A and B are shown apart, each in its own frame.
Chain A
Amino acid sequence: MIANAVITQAVALAEKRAQKRGSGVYAGRATVLIERGLYAAKSSNWLVILSGFVEPVLYLMAFGFGIGQLIGDMQDGNGNPVSYAAYIAPALLATSAMNGAIYDATWNVFFKMHFGKIYQVMLSSSLGPLDVALGEIAWALLRGLTYSLGFMAIVVPLGLVTNWWGILAIPAATLIAFAFASLGMAVTSYMKNFQQMNWINFFLLPMFLFSGTFFPVSVYPEWIQMIVKALPLWQGVDLVRSLMLGVLDIGVLWHVLYFVVLIVGGLWFTTTRLRALFMR
């Protein structure tokens, strides 16, 4: 005689979900990871979190207002003059979004995966791997968004955002943070040790310096430009710069598409990898 299962609350929820497609990978509860993140954040070191935010602000002060004095005006996409600070501010906003997302999506994910083993525990509940991937990525994205909002709160009073399109820099930063979180977690999920994790940092610094952040990519020969333009940070810098300087063209939509592809790809790889690691 086969048992009649007892229908508890947890079972009723899972059975209801089972009628939907993809219920094996997604329970529709990614938000519970954000909840968990909030509980965990209560005891985290706020100085560390703050330091990540301060970095781009320091760059803005030193380069925008310091070195900017020596450089004079730059040109926006239409050939109009803009101050050097206004030129690099959008790039640093994109960098803020990237930094915040990357912190949580790489090192923190690496620790949770290999030392805290919290994903293993989550996957023994009725959550699916896509819940875990999406939830963690969303949590990392929140940090990126927080950094960008903080950065906006500094650059707007300084008069570095001069037109209303600039408001769209916030959803743009969200998109950038989402994409970096997704890419970061996907890459991290394939990393096996600390050495490999260090490659991420090794890659991030040059990308930050040379993605049209402090000077236009037109200074490079054609083939280097091609490489730089394929990198996610340049895509983000160019997107935010177009919005904050109010120079819009169809290119903006290409950037958006680029990030959407990155987000979907990152989610797919992370989900696949979580399955391979914890559900084989």
Chain B
Amino acid sequence: MDNREVVIRARGLKKTYKDFAAVDGVDFDVYRGEAFGLLGPNGAGKSTTMKMISSVSQRTDGELTILGKEPNTQGPEIRAHLGVVPQKDLLDRELKVWENLFTYGRYFGLSRKWLKTKVDELLEFAQLTEKRNSKADDLSGGMQRRLAIARGLVNEPEILLLDEPTTGLDPQARHILWDRLFRLKEQGVTLVITTHYMDEAEQLCDRLIVMDKGKIMAEGSPASLIKEYSSKEVVEVRFGTDKNESAAKQLEGLGDRIEVLPDRILLYTEKGEELLAKIVDSGLNPITSLVRRSSLEDVFLRLTGRTLVD
């Protein structure tokens, strides 16, 4: 593990706005070629961390190096190594699809001739060749996001930063996007992804940190986090809003751990079906019930006592 190249290194990284600590002393390493996730609810400090990595926001305290460079003094050099896909795409609405890529390449000082072939290649990659002369504004949400990713790739970055890449996309568009990101990873691009979607983190990330209130709550691969902080399976039962509390008392002792949410009760266990049978046998009749595999959502709930998307 330690033989791998560290491309981003943070130690005690801190960002304070007035007296609010958006990022409150985090340590992490990102290795070359991996997909690294920053997971957490809104306001956890993911985007602020991302902004510091992309060298447009100066840290308040701590250490941060990107490819061995210092963002406070080597901002433009670092940004030349990075591809940035912002949360809201931020495409240039006055320009056509191909012009969005072309002008962005020009911002890096890349030659027109070189960009001509690069733009074609990226349009192909983003499956937007037919849309090259459309206005960026006229594309669907999924296409806009793919264009934003293609734009982030114009300068052939080693590290691609994606801030909530699939928020607001329909399932089909998400899968197309994930597929593109997998391909990039295969080509050796390091991905840094923020998300508040558990399934996305499980699908895409080799390793991730779970953040809450500016701090890191846990770190590891999705599977190891689940193993460490949750059980294999989860039984979800609903008894109706008023009855959950009282039912929970009767469920005490069943399963390894129990979590009562406003709308449902979660029971953590190694064998879900068996547990559900026991619940029914004990005379409790849940309105709905579900046995599922444990997910990162459960890890988060365990760590913070809250669900991710509040």
Q: Using an 8 Å CB-CB cutoff, how does the interface string of A98-139 with B read, 1 for contact, 0 for none?
A: 000000000000000000111011111111100000000000
Interface residues of A in 18-39 (CB under 8 A from B): 18, 23-24, 27, 29, 32, 35-36, 39
Give the A-B pair count, Cβ closer than 8 A. 137
B228: interface (CB < 8 Å)? no
B residues less than 8 Å from A36 (CB atoms):
92, 95, 103, 106
Q: Is the CB of B156 within 8 A of A24?
A: no
Interface residues of B in 108-138 (CB under 8 A from A): 108-111, 114, 135
A interface bracket (residues with beta carbon within 8 Å of B)? 35 or more
Q: Whole-angstrom distance from the CB of A117 to the nearest CB of chain B?
A: 5
Assuming the contacts A2-B68, A35-B103, A124-B56, asked whether A8 and B84 have C-beta atoms less than 8 A apart, the reply is: no
Please list the residues of chain B having a beta carbon within 8 angstroms of any beta carbon in chain A: 2-7, 9, 32, 54, 56-58, 65, 67-69, 73-77, 79-82, 84, 86, 88, 90, 92-96, 99, 102-104, 106-111, 114, 135, 155-158
Q: Is the CB of A24 within 8 A of B68?
A: no
Report the separation of the CA atoms of residues A18 and B73 in the bound assembly, to the nearest whole angstrom.
10
Report the separation of the CA atoms of residues A178 and B2 in the bound assembly, to the nearest whole angstrom.
55
Of B88, B92, B109, the most chain A CB neighbours within 10 A belong to B109
Q: Is the CB of A27 within 8 A of B76?
A: yes
For this complex, 15 residue pairs linking A to B, each with C-beta atoms less than 8 Å apart, are A2-B6, A3-B67, A9-B156, A11-B80, A14-B76, A24-B75, A32-B103, A40-B95, A117-B88, A124-B82, A125-B155, A126-B79, A126-B107, A127-B76, A279-B56
Q: Using an 8 Å CB-CB cutoff, how does the interface string of A265-280 with B read, 1 for contact, 0 for none?
A: 0000000000000111
Q: Whole-angstrom distance from the CB of A108 to the nearest CB of chain B?
A: 10
Please list the residues of chain A having a beta carbon within 8 angstroms of any beta carbon in chain B: 1-6, 8-11, 13-15, 17-18, 23-24, 27, 29, 32, 35-36, 39-40, 43-44, 116-118, 120-128, 278-280
Q: Whole-angstrom distance from the CB of A2 to the nearest CB of chain B?
A: 5
Q: Whole-angstrom distance from the CB of A6 to the nearest CB of chain B?
A: 5
- Report the nearest A residue to B74, measured CB to CB: A18
B residues less than 8 Å from A32 (CB atoms):
103, 106-107, 109
